[in-house]
Amino acid sequence: MVSLGSGAEREIDDIALSRYASYLVAQNGDPRKQEVAFAQTYFAIQTRRQELEDRAAKEYVPLSEDERRYLLREEIKEHNKNLASAAKNAGVSDGRDFAIFQTHGYKGLYGGLDVSGIQRRKGLKASQHILDHMGSTELAANLFRATQTEEKLRKENIKGKDAANRTHFDVGAKVRQTIREIGGDMPETLPPAEDIKKVERRVKRSIGGPKGKTVDK
């Protein structure tokens, strides 16, 4: 029943439309009406989404090394924050303690090398952040180390600085063992990569994004 101008009501039929018919009605309707404007927007979005899905299915383009490095480095920044939070809950209370905690993770993954040892092995200066000079493969190994250590600290409710340090070392050593078992190159043997700040600028120029600075973390 629909209301008429006189206040009376009249019975009308409901009409079921196919999806394509709905599309045609929406595209030819008056966009000043809210329902029509909404429908036009909906179909425009769905059409664009389908175009992108079809293109992705036909033309898969893998990420470049620059793009992989940039994305992984950004991921590590975020996960290092989460790792720091988990370590703090375990009893790693200040910056010095966290530096020691991080060193244990590197030693496990890099066969006993600390940050200075990694820098010397790769020919980096003391001022060059090791994460900023890792290729995508090495970054991925360190991201796995960080995420798995955070998970273990929280899941097992590990308490105490010494226990947290041992956990980080053990996880790093386990990642190293996995790399060895699958025949990968040990992380300390991988060559240093170009400074990530230069890579970031190239990636952002290629996608037309805003310029920015990389903050070491």
pLDDT the model gives residue 37: 83
Beta strands in the chain (DSSP E): 2-3, 9-10
Q: How confident is the model at residue 207 (pLDDT cuts 50, 70, 90)?
A: low
Q: How confident is the model at residue 212 (pLDDT cuts 50, 70, 90)?
A: very low
Whole-number average pLDDT of the chain: 88
Percent over 90 (pLDDT), the chain:
59
Residue 34 φ/ψ, nearest 5 degrees = -55, -45
Stretch 71-81: mean pLDDT, rounded? 92
pLDDT the model gives residue 3: 82
Looking at the whole model, is its pTM more than 0.75?
A: no
Least confident stretch, 58-72, 156-170, 199-213: 199-213
pLDDT the model gives residue 36: 86
How many Cβ atoms from other residues are within 10 Å of residue 146's Cβ? 26
Q: 38-42, 72-76, 209-213 — which one is most confidently predicted on average?
A: 72-76
pLDDT the model gives residue 211: 44
pLDDT the model gives residue 108: 97
HEC sequence for 51-114 = HHHHHHHHCCCCCCHHHHHHHHHHHHHHHHHHHHHHHHHHCCCCHHHHHHHHHHHHHHHCCCCC
Residue 198, CB half-sphere, CA atoms under 13 Å: how many? 5
